[in-house]
Structures are given as C-alpha cells and as structure tokens.
Structure 1
C-alpha cells in the first residue's frame, strides 16, 4: 500500500510541475530569447582585441522589473563583477561572477543554464561595443532559454533521494547483519527468554495477546531499549525481528494485529533518555541545553502513541478487522530449554 502512496505522490508532483512549467512557458516568465537591458562599465575602457576583460555589470532594478513583468520589484545590486569574453566565433559573452548576489529570477536562470559552474552568462551584441568611447556602454544580454524548471527540479530531487536511499540501505547492511547475528546467538543461548521473563510484567498490559514465554516479547524489549538509549540503527533489526515473531502469531497474515500496531506506535514515538548519536555528533556539548526538552517531548509522544493505539483498538471499526476476532489467540509458545 505504501508503494502505491509513494507512486501517487510522485505522479501528482510531476503533474503539478508540468502544469506550472506550462504556465511559465505560456506567460514567458523567463523572456526566452529576449535581450535583457544592462550597462557594462570598463574601468580602463573597452578593448576590442582583448580575449578577456574585467567588467562591471549594472542592471537597473526598475527596468528589470518592467522587463520581466513581476508583481514584486526585483531587487538587484548596483554593480556585479563580471568578465567580458571573446568567443571562438568572434562574438562577445558576459559572465557574471559565481559569488555575485543575484535576484531570484536571475539566479534561477543561472542554475538552469549553467548548473555546473554556477555562472550567469549570456551573449551581448558585438556591434553595441564597437567604437565605444565612454567607459560605460548601454547594451543588452541574451540568456540561454529556460524551460521546465520544476520538472527538472523534481527529477533531480528524485534521483538524489534515490541515491541517498541506496547509501542508507548499504550502510544498514553491516548493522543489520551484526545485530541479527547477535540476536540469533542470544536466542540460542536463552538470553532472549530470560529477558522476556524480566520485562513481561511491564509490557504485558500493552501486549496482552502475546503468549507466555514467546520470543516476540524479548525482541520488543530490545527494540524499545535500543530506541530509549538512542541506538536508532540497532533498533531497526530488533523491530524487524519483533514484527516477524508477531506475524507468526497472526491468524490473518495480510492484516496487522493490535500488538503490531502498538509496537509500531511505540517504536515511532519512543522516549529518548539518551539523545540520538547523530544529534550528539551534530551539536556536541550543546545537547545539554535541550536534553530535558528531548526527554519531555519524547515521553509525551510515547504516551500519546500508546493511548491512541489503545483507543483505536477499542473502536468498532477496528475491532471488526482485528485478525483475532475469528478465534482465540495462538497457543502458548514454550521457551527454549
């Protein structure tokens, strides 16, 4: 079901982006192909033979606003550092410095037309510069066309997050292998069943249908302990194993039981007595300033999660879909010898 939700969100985002981009093309938001008025100032005068020449680029804010027809005034710096370059074909191209402060519209044109170098560049008429006697020349610059900005942004974001997902998955392989192996050793050694006896009085009211001595209770305890002590990656394999054990008790494999819902709620909203390792790495000793806030808010979230899961399980709609409604709970599982 979750896959369908994600697929629907992606399709909806692409449709929204397509509509927005078509609107930009219809309104000609970026004035593709139209020369943008500006002034070029040469400190030492214009040199027609120089292959590269430093130049100061000046846009008039009011004229720029009228040109692009924006509702809000376009705020632009009085002067922008740049370079006038003679192209191989004999034309002239202005490149504005990458660190120049550009208004959002020009920054979008820069990002879309030159994403690698992050340089706003465009061609200027050679004839307008020829024979320039004044150090400041009024001319115009033509940028490369900009189309389908939002479609490209969504596609790029999707690829970036897909790469991130793969990196996270690969990073979890070692953690999962380690802790799943430790769980297997603990199960064979009887440690899990000893833990079940220890925590059963505390967790029994929350998971009343788990049979006496069943390893699911031990896995739940390990999952909650890992979350409480800020070991997020360690909690993942424990949670997976706990769900597998709960599934063995499920008379209808395609429907979650109340215990599964409770575990998911508690795992998601677990109290944090020890802040997550990543958060400690990010802010260091400053974690002390927010420690009590973390404990309070996570304790509150855990309380709300438990009450919500318990409350929803009592509603008629959810009672009727409870997998255990057709029969009694599975027989008690005997602990390992």
Structure 2
C-alpha cells in the first residue's frame, strides 16, 4: 500500500511540475527571447582589451516592470564585471546581489557551485572607444525552461544519494548492535532484560508469547531511543519488526503489535537529547531537558492511546491478522464439530 502512495505522490508531483512549466513557457514568464536593457558605467573607463573589468549595472525600473510584467523593481545599480569570452562579452552581477522576481529565479536556475552569480550575454552594445565612462546595452540571460521538472529530478538524485549513504552507514551500526545483542544473549543478559520488562510490555503486545526474543529487541529499541541513540535504535527496531513479523499470520498486513511498536518507536520518551541536537546546540541543549522529556512523554502517551483506540475501530478489527486467524480457527473448529455430529 505504501508503494502505491509513494507512486501516486511522485506521479502527482511530476504532473504538477509539468503543468506549471508548460504554463510558464506559454506565458514566456522569464522572457527567454528578450534582452533586458541596461546601462553600464565604468569607474575606470572602458578598456576594450581587458579580459575582466569592474562595472556598475543600472536597470531602469520602468523598463524592468514593462518587460517582465511585474510590480517589483530592481535596485538602482548593481556591482558586476564585464567579461570577455569566446562567446562574446558577458555581464556578471555580484554573487551577493539581491534581485526581484523573476531575476531571482533566473539566477538560482543557472547558479553553479563554481559561479553562483547572475550572468548574461551583452547584446545591442555599440562599439565604444577606450575610456568611455558609460555604455547603453542589453543583457540576454540564458533561457529558463522546465525548472520544476528539473528541481524534482535534482531532488530525486540528491535523496537517492542520501538514501545510499544512510544505508551504507547503517551497515556498520547494524552489525555492531546485532553483535552486542548476540553477546547479550550468550551471557544471559537479554533473558534477564526480558524478564524485567515483560510485565510492562505484555499489555501493549498481547500477541507476543512470554520469553519471545521480540520482547528483548523491543526493549533494547526503546532504551536506545530513551537515551538518544537514534542510529542504534534503528537496527534494533528492524530486528524487533522481523521478530514480530514471524508471529504475524499475514504477510501483507501489519499486526496490532507491529503497529504498536511503530507508534512507540516514533514517539518514544527521550531522557537524553538526540545526538544530532547535541551536535547543533552543544551544552545549551541542557536547557531543553525538561521540555524534551515532557514533550516526548506526552507524544508516547498519545501514541499508545491512539493505537489502542484504532485497534477498536471496526474496520481495523476486521482486518487485524491475529483476529482473522482466530476467527478462521474458530470456524474450522465449528466445522469439524458439526461434521463429527
């Protein structure tokens, strides 16, 4: 089901992006075929043979509004450079300059790590003699097309890289934590921990048998969350889910116990702030100790109560794997009894 939801979100976002991009192209919002009139002022005079020279770029507000059909107005002047390239003369604005829309979008669309500045080719510029203090010209910016689709594609690649990095980083954590759990099992610590927490977890996980390994992994997962060890809690939670799935009569439906574990893992009480928050705030995170504890305690109580309430909803009761298995077992027993009669 989750795969269908993700697929629907992806397809919906692509359709939305395509609609917006098509509308922008139809309206020619970024004036891809037009050049913006500008006035270039040379503090040291125009030098034709210079490869780079400083320049003040002035944009007339009335012309800007008329060209882009907007009420926003640019600043009176911008610092920049006139650059001689093989493609011709280019104007580069200062990277720290602030622009109104749609120039801001044009800048961000073509920005790169090496050159984040807004830039365009100088057109309609008459030949100027050396030392000329001012030049009337126009700047043709690179076209902007399908920016929404491009953003979605870039975001997909970025998150794919993040997912791969996260998966690789979890391999070491997973191996370490499962190794420690195995050592704990051999030493009898897991069995002792299960005996301690079993009275607390039995009401929340009624379908898990006594002394089942799932209870120990659930306990370790919750303890890792309580002490702010999110990376350690992840593999333990995965192992606990695998143990609960081994008790689940259905392969395609989460059991009530699995839903409860997900709620507890997501809303777990935290006595120690997460490591990420500590790395950001340092010792100042101690000021949030009571706030974090109270907030996570409330979220845990809300998660437990919400999950228990949903378990009683007729629709979820009818689709719960354990209840369906029990009902089928009762029907089978009744059928056998009737046949014997």
TM-score (norm 2): 0.89
Residue aligning to 1:200? 198
| 1:168-192 per-position Cα deviation (integer Å, ceiling 9, x unaligned) | 1111110000111111222233221
Worse-superposed segment, 18-27 or 1-10: 1-10
Residue aligning to 1:304? 302
Question: What aligned pairs does 1:88-107 form with structure 2 within 5 A after superposition?
Answer: 88=86, 91-107=88-104
Residue aligning to 1:15? 15
- Matched residue SS, 1:327: helix
Between the aligned partners of 2:47 and 2:80, the Cα distance in structure 1 is 15
Residue aligning to 2:27? 27
Between the aligned partners of 1:125 and 1:179, the Cα distance in structure 2 is 64
- Matched residue SS, 1:128: coil
Counterpart check, 1:246 vs 2:244: yes
Q: Pick closer, same or farther for the CA change 1:190–1:42 going to 2, 3 Å.
A: same
Residue aligning to 1:318? 316
Q: Pick closer, same or farther for the CA change 1:10–1:256 going to 2, 3 Å.
A: same
| 1:232-276 per-position Cα deviation (integer Å, ceiling 9, x unaligned) | 111112111111221222222322221111111111111111110
Residue aligning to 1:59? 59
* More relative contact order, 1 or 2 (CA 8 Å, 6+ apart): 1
- Contact kept, 8 Å, 1:129 with 1:137, in 2: the verdict is no
Residue aligning to 2:175? 177
- Matched residue SS, 1:255: coil
- Contact kept, 8 Å, 2:52 with 2:81, in 1: the verdict is yes
- Contact kept, 8 Å, 1:193 with 1:214, in 2: the verdict is no
- Matched residue SS, 2:285: helix
Between the aligned partners of 2:101 and 2:158, the Cα distance in structure 1 is 23
Between the aligned partners of 2:235 and 2:89, the Cα distance in structure 1 is 61
CA root-mean-square deviation: 2.0
- Matched residue SS, 1:150: helix
- Contact kept, 8 Å, 2:41 with 2:133, in 1: the verdict is yes
- Matched residue SS, 2:126: helix
Counterpart check, 1:112 vs 2:112: no
| 1:114-156 per-position Cα deviation (integer Å, ceiling 9, x unaligned) | 4341122222236424359862333211112111111111111
Between the aligned partners of 1:201 and 1:127, the Cα distance in structure 2 is 84
Structure 1: which 5+ residue stretches go unaligned?
331-337
Residue aligning to 1:45? 45
Residue aligning to 1:327? 326
| 1:307-336 per-position Cα deviation (integer Å, ceiling 9, x unaligned) | 0111111122111112222329x9xxxxxx
- Structure 1 residue 81, shift from structure 2 partner: 1.2
Counterpart check, 1:69 vs 2:69: yes
Residue aligning to 1:333? none
Between the aligned partners of 1:114 and 1:282, the Cα distance in structure 2 is 28
- Matched residue SS, 1:40: strand
Residue aligning to 2:229? 231
Between the aligned partners of 2:125 and 2:285, the Cα distance in structure 1 is 63
- Contact kept, 8 Å, 1:113 with 1:145, in 2: the verdict is no
- Matched residue SS, 2:140: strand
- Structure 1 residue 196, shift from structure 2 partner: 1.1
Structure 2: which 5+ residue stretches go unaligned?
330-341
Counting matched residue pairs gives 326
Q: Pick closer, same or farther for the CA change 1:294–1:19 going to 2, 3 Å.
A: same
Counterpart check, 1:273 vs 2:263: no
